[in-house]
């Protein structure tokens, strides 16, 4: 898989290119006491628009930030001035946390030139590069959204997998949450994990806002019992860090990886879900 990242130096050289769209994809856990949109307004990479993960989502469900319909996605990102044939650079203000989710979302709806900023906003700021305050107006454009049905799986697919064992399920949550030793940060959810799933906390896969090297990733996955030759389903708390996990699996050499979009936000609340702890 070619590198999905661009450097801060590359972005600095291409900020004024008319076909480059910069996207602030910052999002924080409910217990993080941070407001991503307020932080964006206070200062962001010049020209960047804000992608609201909770807003550009399926509004017909109570589940958090599920993928929207192709029509709703096209309408929302078109209003941000982004078309499917632009070069899209996504970043977040943690380093590498929520940006992969938005990178994956754009790709899932048909954009092909989508990249993440290596090191994200923290690296950009550490290098004392310029920032801009306030909203960035971009001319409305059309986005031709074509959803890749292989990108995500649903509750029924994961439930059926408990019987078929067709895919390995890998969970990116921290070990205490996976094992049901601490409460979930999202209220009302049971604790534990999907039966037979494997735990690879996303914190093992990144360092300094960057994804670890493929050789390191392969070692981590091997140590955790992940078979990169099998079909894989990445899960997490609500479908955010599952994408970072899926990205790491692909960088390590996996070729059949899907994201469980509902993740534990759905599984931990579903009356029919089987749970281990």
> Exposure string (b/e) for 119-142, b if CB count within 10 Å is 16 or more?
bbbbbbeeeebeeeeeebeeeebe
Helix, strand or coil for residue 249? helix
In degrees to the nearest 10, what's the CA dihedral of 58, 60, 61, 64? 30
Q: Compute the distance between CA of residue 34 and CA of residue 98 in angstroms, rounded to an integer.
A: 13
- 265 neighbors 241 (Cβ within 8 angstroms): no
φ, ψ of residue 49 to 5 degrees: the values are -100, 160
- Residue 236 annotated in active site: yes
Check 57, 169, 236, 249 and give the catalytic one: 236
Q: Catalytic amino acids? A: 236
């Amino acid at each position: 898989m070619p590198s999905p990242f661009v450097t801060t130096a590359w972005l600095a050289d291409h900020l004024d290119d008319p076909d480059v769209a910069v996207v602030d994809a910052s999002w924080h856990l409910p217990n993080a006491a941070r407001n991503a949109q307020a932080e964006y307004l206070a200062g962001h990479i010049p020209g960047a628009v804000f992608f609201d993960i909770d807003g550009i989502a399926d509004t017909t469900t109570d589940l958090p930030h599920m993928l929207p319909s192709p029509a709703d996605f096209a309408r929302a990102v078109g209003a941000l001035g982004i078309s499917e044939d632009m070069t899209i650079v996504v970043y977040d203000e943690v380093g590498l946390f929520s940006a992969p989710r938005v990178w994956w979302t754009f790709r899932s709806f048909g954009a092909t030139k989508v990249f993440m900023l290596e090191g994200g906003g923290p690296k950009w700021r550490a290098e004392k590069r310029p920032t801009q305050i306030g909203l960035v107006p971009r001319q409305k454009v059309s986005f031709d959204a074509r959803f890749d049905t292989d990108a995500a799986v649903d509750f029924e697919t994961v439930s059926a997998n408990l019987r078929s064992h067709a895919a390995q399920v890998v969970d990116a949550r921290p070990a205490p949450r996976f094992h049901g030793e601490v409460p979930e940060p999202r209220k009302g959810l049971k604790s534990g994990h999907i039966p037979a799933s494997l735990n690879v906390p996303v914190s093992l896969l990144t360092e300094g806002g960057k994804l670890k090297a493929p050789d390191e990733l392969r070692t981590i996955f091997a140590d955790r019992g992940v078979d990169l030759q099998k079909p894989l389903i990445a899960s997490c708390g609500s479908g955010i860090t599952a994408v970072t996990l899926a990205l790491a699996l692909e960088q390590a050499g996996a070729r059949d990886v899907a994201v469980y979009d509902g993740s534990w936000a759905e599984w931990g609340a579903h009356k029919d879900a089987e749970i281990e702890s």
